[in-house]
Chains A and B, each alone.
Chain A
Amino acid sequence: MNAGLYIAQRGTAVILAFAVTVHLVTIIYAIRGGLTAGDILARTHGNRWFLGFYLVFVLAAAIHAPIGVRSILREWATWRGRSLDLAMLAFSALLLVLGVRAALAVYLT
Protein backbone atom coordinates (compact mmCIF):
# COMPACT_ATOMS: atom_id res chain seq x y z
CA MET A 1 0.00 0.00 0.00
CA ASN A 2 1.06 3.53 -0.72
CA ALA A 3 -0.74 6.76 -1.41
CA GLY A 4 -1.10 5.88 -5.11
CA LEU A 5 -2.60 2.43 -4.51
CA TYR A 6 -4.77 3.88 -1.77
CA ILE A 7 -6.16 6.54 -4.13
CA ALA A 8 -6.71 3.88 -6.81
CA GLN A 9 -8.56 1.59 -4.43
CA ARG A 10 -10.76 4.22 -2.78
CA GLY A 11 -11.37 5.94 -6.13
CA THR A 12 -12.50 2.73 -7.82
CA ALA A 13 -14.57 2.01 -4.69
CA VAL A 14 -16.63 5.13 -5.40
CA ILE A 15 -17.03 4.13 -9.06
CA LEU A 16 -18.02 0.62 -8.01
CA ALA A 17 -20.55 1.96 -5.51
CA PHE A 18 -22.47 3.47 -8.43
CA ALA A 19 -21.91 0.49 -10.73
CA VAL A 20 -22.89 -2.10 -8.12
CA THR A 21 -26.07 -0.21 -7.26
CA VAL A 22 -27.06 -0.09 -10.92
CA HIS A 23 -26.09 -3.73 -11.35
CA LEU A 24 -28.04 -5.00 -8.32
CA VAL A 25 -31.12 -3.01 -9.29
CA THR A 26 -30.88 -4.34 -12.85
CA ILE A 27 -30.47 -7.95 -11.71
CA ILE A 28 -33.36 -7.83 -9.29
CA TYR A 29 -35.50 -6.08 -11.91
CA ALA A 30 -34.62 -8.80 -14.42
CA ILE A 31 -35.39 -11.58 -12.00
CA ARG A 32 -38.69 -10.04 -10.96
CA GLY A 33 -39.61 -9.75 -14.62
CA GLY A 34 -38.85 -13.44 -15.03
CA LEU A 35 -36.40 -12.74 -17.83
CA THR A 36 -34.54 -15.66 -19.33
CA ALA A 37 -30.96 -15.55 -20.52
CA GLY A 38 -32.24 -15.07 -24.06
CA ASP A 39 -34.35 -12.09 -23.00
CA ILE A 40 -31.40 -10.46 -21.23
CA LEU A 41 -29.06 -11.06 -24.16
CA ALA A 42 -31.63 -9.59 -26.53
CA ARG A 43 -31.65 -6.39 -24.51
CA THR A 44 -27.88 -6.14 -24.24
CA HIS A 45 -27.20 -7.03 -27.85
CA GLY A 46 -25.66 -4.07 -29.70
CA ASN A 47 -26.44 -1.83 -26.75
CA ARG A 48 -23.53 0.59 -26.51
CA TRP A 49 -24.65 1.95 -23.15
CA PHE A 50 -24.57 -1.51 -21.65
CA LEU A 51 -21.16 -2.20 -23.13
CA GLY A 52 -19.73 1.11 -21.95
CA PHE A 53 -21.15 0.63 -18.50
CA TYR A 54 -19.82 -2.90 -18.11
CA LEU A 55 -16.37 -2.04 -19.45
CA VAL A 56 -16.05 0.70 -16.83
CA PHE A 57 -17.35 -1.74 -14.22
CA VAL A 58 -14.80 -4.40 -15.22
CA LEU A 59 -11.91 -1.95 -15.25
CA ALA A 60 -12.80 -0.59 -11.82
CA ALA A 61 -13.15 -4.11 -10.36
CA ALA A 62 -9.85 -5.19 -11.95
CA ILE A 63 -8.11 -2.35 -10.10
CA HIS A 64 -10.04 -2.52 -6.82
CA ALA A 65 -9.99 -6.26 -6.06
CA PRO A 66 -6.26 -7.04 -6.39
CA ILE A 67 -5.30 -4.11 -4.15
CA GLY A 68 -7.64 -5.40 -1.46
CA VAL A 69 -6.51 -9.02 -1.87
CA ARG A 70 -2.90 -7.83 -1.62
CA SER A 71 -3.52 -6.51 1.92
CA ILE A 72 -5.18 -9.75 2.96
CA LEU A 73 -2.34 -11.92 1.63
CA ARG A 74 0.29 -9.68 3.23
CA GLU A 75 -1.41 -9.82 6.60
CA TRP A 76 -2.91 -13.29 6.78
CA ALA A 77 -0.60 -15.33 4.54
CA THR A 78 2.51 -13.24 5.34
CA TRP A 79 3.32 -13.08 1.66
CA ARG A 80 5.62 -10.13 0.97
CA GLY A 81 7.70 -8.62 -1.78
CA ARG A 82 7.88 -8.57 -5.55
CA SER A 83 6.26 -11.98 -6.08
CA LEU A 84 3.09 -10.80 -4.35
CA ASP A 85 2.93 -7.65 -6.46
CA LEU A 86 3.40 -9.69 -9.63
CA ALA A 87 0.72 -12.16 -8.55
CA MET A 88 -1.69 -9.27 -7.98
CA LEU A 89 -0.89 -7.81 -11.39
CA ALA A 90 -1.65 -11.24 -12.86
CA PHE A 91 -4.95 -11.37 -10.94
CA SER A 92 -5.79 -7.92 -12.27
CA ALA A 93 -5.00 -9.01 -15.83
CA LEU A 94 -7.13 -12.11 -15.38
CA LEU A 95 -10.11 -10.07 -14.22
CA LEU A 96 -9.61 -7.61 -17.05
CA VAL A 97 -9.39 -10.27 -19.76
CA LEU A 98 -12.28 -12.38 -18.49
CA GLY A 99 -14.37 -9.31 -17.77
CA VAL A 100 -13.91 -7.67 -21.16
CA ARG A 101 -14.64 -11.03 -22.78
CA ALA A 102 -17.85 -11.34 -20.75
CA ALA A 103 -18.92 -7.79 -21.56
CA LEU A 104 -18.26 -8.35 -25.26
CA ALA A 105 -20.06 -11.70 -25.15
CA VAL A 106 -23.17 -10.04 -23.82
CA TYR A 107 -22.87 -7.18 -26.31
CA LEU A 108 -22.19 -9.23 -29.40
CA THR A 109 -24.67 -12.07 -29.04
Chain B
Amino acid sequence: MIRPHLKPGFLAAMLHRLSGIALAVFLPMHFIALGMALGGADSLQSFLGVTHNAFVRTAEWGLVTALGLHMALGLRVLAIELFAVRERSALVVSACVACSLTVGLLFLLNGS
Protein backbone atom coordinates (compact mmCIF):
# COMPACT_ATOMS: atom_id res chain seq x y z
CA MET B 1 0.00 0.00 0.00
CA ILE B 2 1.49 3.32 -1.05
CA ARG B 3 1.21 5.84 1.75
CA PRO B 4 -0.90 8.79 0.53
CA HIS B 5 1.96 11.05 -0.31
CA LEU B 6 1.17 14.70 0.14
CA LYS B 7 3.42 15.69 -2.71
CA PRO B 8 2.64 18.71 -4.88
CA GLY B 9 1.88 16.74 -8.05
CA PHE B 10 -0.52 14.36 -6.35
CA LEU B 11 -2.31 17.07 -4.39
CA ALA B 12 -2.63 19.23 -7.50
CA ALA B 13 -4.13 16.31 -9.43
CA MET B 14 -6.62 15.48 -6.67
CA LEU B 15 -7.75 19.09 -6.23
CA HIS B 16 -8.08 19.40 -10.00
CA ARG B 17 -10.14 16.23 -10.23
CA LEU B 18 -12.41 16.99 -7.25
CA SER B 19 -13.08 20.55 -8.39
CA GLY B 20 -13.86 19.15 -11.84
CA ILE B 21 -16.44 16.78 -10.36
CA ALA B 22 -18.05 19.63 -8.41
CA LEU B 23 -18.26 21.74 -11.56
CA ALA B 24 -19.65 18.89 -13.66
CA VAL B 25 -22.40 18.36 -11.11
CA PHE B 26 -23.13 22.07 -10.72
CA LEU B 27 -23.13 23.17 -14.35
CA PRO B 28 -26.50 21.65 -15.37
CA MET B 29 -28.10 23.24 -12.29
CA HIS B 30 -26.58 26.59 -13.20
CA PHE B 31 -27.99 26.33 -16.73
CA ILE B 32 -31.43 25.40 -15.39
CA ALA B 33 -31.41 28.36 -13.02
CA LEU B 34 -30.50 30.75 -15.81
CA GLY B 35 -33.12 29.19 -18.07
CA MET B 36 -35.68 30.39 -15.55
CA ALA B 37 -35.14 33.83 -17.02
CA LEU B 38 -37.40 32.62 -19.81
CA GLY B 39 -40.17 33.14 -17.34
CA GLY B 40 -39.15 36.80 -17.13
CA ALA B 41 -36.88 38.76 -14.85
CA ASP B 42 -39.28 38.33 -11.92
CA SER B 43 -39.19 34.58 -12.23
CA LEU B 44 -35.39 34.56 -12.13
CA GLN B 45 -35.25 37.14 -9.36
CA SER B 46 -37.71 35.28 -7.17
CA PHE B 47 -35.84 32.04 -7.77
CA LEU B 48 -32.60 33.77 -6.83
CA GLY B 49 -34.34 35.34 -3.82
CA VAL B 50 -35.61 32.00 -2.60
CA THR B 51 -32.22 30.45 -2.99
CA HIS B 52 -30.33 33.37 -1.48
CA ASN B 53 -29.64 31.96 1.94
CA ALA B 54 -26.40 31.18 3.77
CA PHE B 55 -26.30 27.62 2.52
CA VAL B 56 -26.61 28.68 -1.11
CA ARG B 57 -24.11 31.53 -0.67
CA THR B 58 -21.61 29.02 0.69
CA ALA B 59 -22.28 26.70 -2.23
CA GLU B 60 -21.84 29.57 -4.69
CA TRP B 61 -18.56 30.54 -3.04
CA GLY B 62 -17.46 26.92 -3.21
CA LEU B 63 -18.23 26.75 -6.91
CA VAL B 64 -16.50 30.01 -7.79
CA THR B 65 -13.46 28.79 -5.88
CA ALA B 66 -13.70 25.38 -7.56
CA LEU B 67 -13.82 27.08 -10.96
CA GLY B 68 -10.76 29.18 -10.18
CA LEU B 69 -8.94 26.17 -8.76
CA HIS B 70 -9.75 23.91 -11.69
CA MET B 71 -8.60 26.54 -14.16
CA ALA B 72 -5.39 27.48 -12.32
CA LEU B 73 -4.32 23.86 -11.87
CA GLY B 74 -5.42 23.10 -15.43
CA LEU B 75 -3.19 25.85 -16.78
CA ARG B 76 -0.31 24.30 -14.81
CA VAL B 77 -0.96 20.93 -16.52
CA LEU B 78 -1.13 22.63 -19.93
CA ALA B 79 2.22 24.28 -19.24
CA ILE B 80 3.80 20.92 -18.36
CA GLU B 81 2.25 19.10 -21.34
CA LEU B 82 2.32 21.72 -24.08
CA PHE B 83 5.29 23.88 -23.22
CA ALA B 84 7.44 21.18 -21.59
CA VAL B 85 7.72 23.21 -18.39
CA ARG B 86 9.62 21.22 -15.75
CA GLU B 87 7.29 22.01 -12.90
CA ARG B 88 7.10 19.97 -9.70
CA SER B 89 7.22 22.47 -6.88
CA ALA B 90 4.97 23.08 -3.93
CA LEU B 91 5.38 26.78 -4.67
CA VAL B 92 3.52 26.76 -7.97
CA VAL B 93 0.73 24.50 -6.69
CA SER B 94 0.34 26.71 -3.61
CA ALA B 95 0.20 29.78 -5.84
CA CYS B 96 -2.61 28.18 -7.89
CA VAL B 97 -4.59 27.42 -4.74
CA ALA B 98 -3.93 30.90 -3.36
CA CYS B 99 -5.16 32.58 -6.57
CA SER B 100 -8.39 30.62 -6.58
CA LEU B 101 -9.02 31.34 -2.90
CA THR B 102 -8.50 35.02 -3.70
CA VAL B 103 -11.11 34.86 -6.43
CA GLY B 104 -13.49 33.09 -4.05
CA LEU B 105 -12.91 35.71 -1.40
CA LEU B 106 -13.54 38.53 -3.86
CA PHE B 107 -16.83 36.88 -4.69
CA LEU B 108 -17.78 36.43 -1.05
CA LEU B 109 -16.82 39.92 0.05
CA ASN B 110 -18.78 41.66 -2.65
CA GLY B 111 -22.05 39.86 -2.56
CA SER B 112 -25.04 41.10 -0.60
Contacts and interface: CB of A to CB of B under 8 A. Distances in A.
A68 B40 CA distance: 34
B31 A99 contact: yes
B2 interface: no
Given A31-B107, A69-B24, A98-B32, A37 B37 contact: yes
A103 B32 CA distance: 11
Contact-residue bracket for chain A: 35 or more
Interface stretch (B4-12, B74-82, B83-91): B74-82
A81 interface: no
Interface of A: 10, 13-14, 16-17, 20-21, 24, 27-28, 31-32, 34, 36-38, 41, 58, 61, 65, 68-69, 72, 91, 94-95, 98-99, 101-106, 108-109
B111 A98 contact: no
* Closest A-B pairs by Cβ, 5 of them: A98-B31, A102-B34, A105-B37, A38-B41, A102-B31
